[in-house]
Amino acid sequence: MPVVECRNVWKIYEPKVPALRGINLKVDSGEFISIVGPSGCGKSTLLNLMGCLDVPTRGRVLIGGCDTRKLGDAELSRLRREKIGFVFQFFNLIPALTVLENVVLPTVFSGRKDPKKAKKLLEAVGLGSKLRRKPAELSGGERQRVAIARALVNDPEVVLADEPTGNLDSETGAAILDLLSSLNRETGVTLVLITHDPEVAKRAERIIYMKDGKIVREVRK
């Protein structure tokens, strides 16, 4: 069963911007896929729908076979918390919290506070010596590694990453990409990555090309 499935998904922003026009996409467990396409083609809109941060205007999004239209707000936020990890271009860390606190936070929300797990993940991404720093005291690459540890702390089934290397220099970006792809290989976490960069996209097993709100081509390695 796919981890995430989009069935004829449309998103029309008011008044009438058709950002997605009939997306059909199945992402299987353990896959690493990338989504590419020109600015404004609907990549972030699609990722937000796959992560249940937003709802389609038409069509459905299924997570682990479950039709998300049937879920209420509380159930949706639980599903997001437990099954989905997000990584964004601008990191979205909480500035007032330390590195460790930022990664612990999702475990607090899920009612299973787990500083040990958070620390272990931060060590795994090479930040074991910077647990008490604040995000502002880190480099961009380090901030993104904190965000990756945070995305993984609740053992999600899928990590959705929107231009995770978009705000980093190419060397740091390559290191972040290595980290994400090794996590995919070693832990089996499903990875969906949006990028502008064809070289980045090629790292995935499957590349989805979008244009004007549609999937226009799909390439499997």
Ligand X SMILES: Nc1ncnc2c1ncn2[C@@H]1O[C@H](COP(=O)(O)OP(=O)(O)OP(=O)(O)O)[C@@H](O)[C@H]1O
Q: What is the spatial distance between Cα 218 and Cα 107, in angstroms, rounded to a whole number?
A: 36
- Which listed residue (1, 17, 96, 216) binds ligand X by CB under 6 A? 17
Q: Site for ligand X (CB under 6 A): which residue of 6, 33, 41, 100? A: 41
Q: Is 40 left (phi over 0), alpha (psi -120 to 50) or beta?
A: left
Q: How many helices (H) and strands (E) does the chain have?
A: 7, 10
Show contacts with Mg ion in window 26-85 (CB under 5 A).
44
**Pick from 3, 9, 34, 45: which binds ligand X (CB under 6 A)?**
45
Please list, in sequence order, all residues whose beta carbon lies within 8 angstroms of the beta carbon of residue 57, skipping any fewer than 6 positions away. Answer: 10, 11, 12
Residue 90 touches which member of ligand X, Mg ion, none, C-beta under 5-8 Å by kind: none
Stretch that binds ligand X, among 43-51, 57-65, 131-139, 170-178 (CB under 6 A): 43-51
Work out how close the CB of 119 gets to ligand X at its nearest, in angstroms, rounded to a whole number: 33
| Separation of alpha carbons 105 and 119, rounded Å | 12
Minimum distance from CB of 162 to Mg ion (Å)?
Answer: 6
List contacts with Mg ion (CB under 5 A): 44
